Amino acid sequence: MVAAIVPPYLLARLAAAPPERFAHAAHAARATLAVVREYRPGRTRLRLSIDADGALVAETAPGPDRAISDAENSERLPGRLVRREDDPATSDTVVDEAFDGLGATYDLLWDAFARDGLSGLGGELPATVHYGVDYDNAFWNGERMVFGDGDGEVFSGFTRSLSVIAHELAHGVIDAEGGLDYRGQSGALNESFADVIGALAEQHLRGQTAAEASWLIGEGIFTAAVQGRALRSLAAPGTAYDDDVLGRDPQPAHMRDFVVTDDDNGGVHINSGIPNRAFHLVALTLGGFAWERAGRIWYRTLAARELPTDADFRTFAAATVRTAVREYGGQSEEARAVRAAWAEVGVDSDERPVP
């Protein structure tokens, strides 16, 4: 499974763009679609804080081990290693954006879920930047995160968005926890969980509550020539972009609008809007920081390793209810919020309140 942030249907629309609108971007999209992406199956840090009495408190915690390589506009991986964990910032903005984004995602995983990196047991966080020429995507290849620079007409670069970086890292977390088949509903759940981590990483870095957050994935990667805010919206699937060339965001927000298709591995980037909306509803209902309760439920559901790799929406919904009951109780606010959210998007969670 090679999981990419930009869905193939969007690249296909761009590849067919009229030359008077996006000639260069259309060529870049065709080249991006033609690339064959091969799937290839601790440190500590000191943290200082001030306690309630004003005393300085020092504590050690696991830290990331980032390794950023430069493909130098080739399609060869891993590329030339250009920045390791203890190296200073470089003169390459893209390298440093990737480095900082991996660090911010690591901080979310550790602070919210006590997870040490991709595997949970530490290890390197490898990424490659400047992949290909005008490459219009970012992806996880089973071994590392890989980022193209974009074509400059439609896509302005993929390391500009923390949610994109965190999304790709999250695919590695999913793989480490046993995986979700990258097709159909299980593939949509795979994409949705990665979107959830992408949104939470941005919110964690910014200190935003669920109500304050934008819930956008890929905000800032479109140029000003595109009529759109981002690739996807967890708050309002189907509204992220509406462009005369790229078309309208096709994501549904309810099972009644579920898209049956053979494209996009059975609609993994399309139908992920349904579980995305469910998560947003849980987070908004519970309020506060979304990673604290809603995120905990979703993460614990994945990390329990009880999901079949071909889990459908109903199976995943039922598992999130079980997790909420286990963590907070059958009649808890959290369990009620999870049940209600899945019902709101038309998915039967197949669980009943526990007395």
Q: Which residues are catalytic?
A: 168, 269
Task: At 45, list the tokens.
Answer: 């840090």
d(CA 226, CA 221): 10
**313-328 and 184-206 helices cross at what angle (nearest 10)?**
40
d(CA 90, CA 50): 32
Beta bridge partners of 70: 80, 129
d(CA 355, CA 351): 12
Closest CA to 288 of 204, 210, 341: 210
